[in-house]
Amino acid sequence: MDILGVSGTPRRNGNSDAMVEAVLEGARSHGMQTRMVKLREYDFRSCVGCERCRKDNACTQLSDGMQLIYPLFEEARGLVLVSPVHTYNMSALMKAFIDRLYCYYDFEDGVPRAWSSRLAGQRRKAVIACVAEQFEKENLGVTMPALRLPLESLGYQIVGEHSVLGLFPAGKVRSQQNSLNRCAELGAALAGALGGSA
């Protein structure tokens, strides 16, 4: 599996689902093996800040659905994250997922603690996107940087970004061919960055 697509919508057949699917389809057309994870289908908790992962190099405090996602995440050098905009930010599901990637950091003692990512140097690439009900870009709030900055800290190169405005009904983006085409283009770009076929 080359690319893992992660949808952060709590709604069945939501717009984020459709956008992830379109990105992955674009990647598959260039020879990539893909898999999709819908976070709402996994029972997992937010990070509890126990810091056990500093010693164990893995999240060992919580035995939940993230333990099913971690192997998929580690296997795929390509990552696609798509979230709806909830209160000027990503969804709570996506935030919890990103926070649970904290276990891939190594920290040194001292204040402030120096840190590094065990995923750095693995030529990992990512595409990020969001979808919002509002029509004004400022209403995206911090969604895009909140998706981008943690991935860059983990060692990902962001290949492309896409934000869709003015959509609320679940799955409505499926009728927006321009947005789906853009998602497919991002999938192709991600495949190319990972060394996929032309």
User: Are 29 and 9 contacting, i.e. CB atoms less than 8 angstroms apart?
Assistant: no
Structure tokens at 138: 């400022």
Q: pTM for this one? A: 0.96
Position 197 scores a pLDDT of 67
Position 113 scores a pLDDT of 82
User: Could you give the CA distance from residue 32 to residue 23 in angstroms, rounded to a whole number?
Assistant: 11
User: Are 171 and 137 contacting, i.e. CB atoms less than 8 angstroms apart?
Assistant: no
Query: Which CATH superfamily includes the segment(s) 3-193?
Result: Flavodoxin domain (3.40.50.360)
Position 198 scores a pLDDT of 56
Position 14 scores a pLDDT of 95
Distances (CA, A) of 155 to 64, 105, 181: 25, 10, 27
Q: What one-character-per-residue DSSP string does the chain give?
A: --EEEEE--SSTT-HHHHHHHHHHHHHHTTT--EEEEEGGGS--PPP----HHHHHSS--S--STHHHHHHHHHH-SEEEEEEE-BTTB--HHHHHHHHGGGGGEEE-SSSSPPEEETTTTS--EEEEEEE-SSSSGGGGTTHHHHHHHHHHHHT-EEEEEEEE-S--STTGGGG-HHHHHHHHHHHHHHHHHTT---
Position 185 scores a pLDDT of 98
The bridge status of strand 105-107 relative to strand 125-131 is unpaired
User: Could you give the CA distance from residue 47 to residue 29 in angstroms, rounded to a whole number?
Assistant: 36
pLDDT tens-digit readout, 118-140: 999 999 999 999 999 999 999 99
pLDDT tens-digit readout, 87-105: 999 999 999 999 999 999 9
